[in-house]
């Protein structure tokens, strides 16, 4: 039995999809849709059946615990620089709002919800997790550095074994 589905894409998603179809050569939009859906559903089924999220938390925690404390600031700065460089390729004028949106989306994709507050010209972010203090420190310092690179000022940053939080001020030119 086959079922017919109908869906709509927003303008940005439609442009990406059209480019995929165009780059696909002889494949039609319907064939591309079926292929994308099959791959996504296979991926989700595998994640659900194997519990990859739980396994990845254990691996992340043990891997990060192996990082020397003296290396954390360097790693966080290098990661932040790389991520912002990549974002700037996609967005010519990178705003604090755009960086916050992307950080929030990444964490949501990893099943980690960030608590975000944006009073006035401030951005306050916090997170509870089970990944350990080194992971907290790296994430916290990396996110702060990302905002600093785009001309924000870090007001505070804190991290523990199961939380991190930071506050930045959006500087105006």
Beta bridge partners of 68: none
Task: Report if residue 42 sits inside a domain.
Answer: yes
Note whether 122 and 45 are same-domain residues: no
Average pLDDT, integer, range 56-83: 88
Residues 78 and 26 grouped into a single domain: no
pTM reported for the whole predicted model: 0.68
CA–CA distances in Å: residue 106 to residues 60, 75, 135, 159, 166: 15, 19, 15, 19, 17
Q: Does 5 fall in a domain?
A: no
Q: What CATH number does the domain containing 164 carry? A: 3.30.1380.20
pLDDT tens for residues 74-117?
Answer: 999 999 999 999 999 988 789 999 999 999 988 887 778 899 99
State whether 38 and 97 are in the same domain: no
Q: Is the pLDDT of residue 52 over 70?
A: no
What mean pLDDT do residues 118-128 have?
Answer: 95
How far apart CA 111 and CA 117 sit, in angstroms, is 19
- At 172 the pLDDT is 58
Number of domains in the chain: 2
**Is position 59 within any domain?**
no
Query: Does residue 6 lie within any of the structural domains?
Result: no
Are 38 and 107 in a shared domain?
A: no
Together in a domain, 76 and 152: yes
Q: Answer yes or no: do 42 and 72 share one domain.
A: no
Containing structural domain, residue 72: 68-170
pLDDT tens per residue across span 14-47 = 888 888 888 877 788 888 888 888 877 776 666 5
Residue 140 belongs to a domain: yes
Q: Are residues 108 and 26 in the same domain?
A: no
């Amino acid at each position: 039995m086959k079922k017919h589905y109908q869906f709509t894409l927003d303008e940005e998603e439609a442009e990406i999809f059209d480019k995929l179809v165009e780059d696909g050569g002889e494949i039609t939009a319907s064939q591309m849709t079926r292929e994308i859906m099959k791959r996504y559903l296979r991926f989700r089924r595998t994640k659900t059946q194997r519990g990859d999220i739980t396994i990845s938390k254990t691996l992340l925690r043990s891997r990060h615990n192996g990082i020397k404390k003296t290396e954390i600031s360097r790693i966080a700065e290098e990661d932040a620089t790389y991520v912002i460089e990549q974002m700037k390729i996609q967005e010519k004028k990178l705003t604090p709002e755009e960086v916050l949106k992307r950080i929030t989306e990444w964490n949501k994709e990893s099943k980690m919800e960030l608590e975000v507050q944006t009073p006035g010209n401030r951005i306050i972010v916090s997170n509870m997790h089970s990944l350990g203090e080194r992971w907290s420190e790296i994430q916290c310092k990396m996110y702060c550095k990302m905002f600093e690179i785009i001309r924000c000022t870090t007001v505070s940053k804190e991290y523990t074994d199961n939380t991190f939080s930071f506050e930045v001020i959006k500087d105006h030119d």
